[in-house]
Homo-oligomer: A and B are copies of this chain.
């Protein structure tokens, strides 16, 4: 398997002397989807230790590297530690369909559980580091640590709801506004600025994800800028009138 990443178990000693066993683990884990579970807010010691043994930190991936690939056996899910990941499906005509973008703290790969093969590729958009949670080990652990089961079920449920959002028939304006507001929310959740977004992905990726043409994305961004909703500087977007954007996006995002 050419694209399997090299893994470094988190319980091995690390070079840097100032990290207590795990670099910026505390800072990261507190914003991670599994945060509550990993940090062990009052869970039983043994299970927690097992969970920490289960997690492996991957060596950094670089832009274009694959986390996993369509059709590979599903054997792990990944939490993004740093950088951004996109998932995509290539259909029989060779057309790419982008399914989602994943920020630090978010979980990639849950959709592989059904069919026990990954139903899409996951690709690093820049330099990315990940936490790897092996399956079925994690699922076994979930039976012992109900908080983990709960987290898994909730995250998947959330993905179902989110997937349904983009499926609606919305206008280009609504889609793009929803995209920006959603990113803003997710950045904010993880402790980043909700108004200054750096879009790691290309315009074509955005367009593809929103099922629009790249030209349309350009034009709508332009118009949003003309209407003083946002300021665009290459891939850096500043949300100026978040309220008006939210209003535009309200139909898409209400959930």
Contact with B along A111-139 (1 / 0, CB 8 A): 11111000100000000000000000001
Bound together, the chains give a CA A166 to CA B160 distance in angstroms of 12
Number of copies of chain A assembled together: 2
Residues of chain B contacted by A112 (CB below 8 angstroms):
157
A153 at interface by CB-CB < 8 Å: yes
| A168:B211 contact, CB within 8 angstroms | yes
A48 at interface by CB-CB < 8 Å: no
Bound together, the chains give a CA A163 to CA B166 distance in angstroms of 9
Residues of chain B contacted by A154 (CB below 8 angstroms):
113-114
Q: How distant is A77 from chain B, measured CB to nearest CB, in Å?
A: 11
A142 at interface by CB-CB < 8 Å: yes
A110 at interface by CB-CB < 8 Å: yes
Contact with B along A240-255 (1 / 0, CB 8 A): 0000000000110011
| B164:A89 contact, CB within 8 angstroms | yes
Q: How distant is A147 from chain B, measured CB to nearest CB, in Å?
A: 10
**Contact for A211 among B146, B156, B167, CB less than 8 A:** B167
A20 at interface by CB-CB < 8 Å: no
Bound together, the chains give a CA A29 to CA B133 distance in angstroms of 34
Residues of chain B contacted by A160 (CB below 8 angstroms):
110-111, 114, 156, 159-160, 163
> Whose C-beta in chain B lies nearest to the C-beta of A95?
B251
Given contacts A91-B254, A143-B146, A251-B92, contact A167 B163 (CB under 8 A): yes
| B119:A161 contact, CB within 8 angstroms | yes
Contact with B along A214-255 (1 / 0, CB 8 A): 000000000000000000000000000000000000110011
Of A110, A112, A164, A169, the most chain B CB neighbours within 10 A belong to A164
A155 at interface by CB-CB < 8 Å: yes
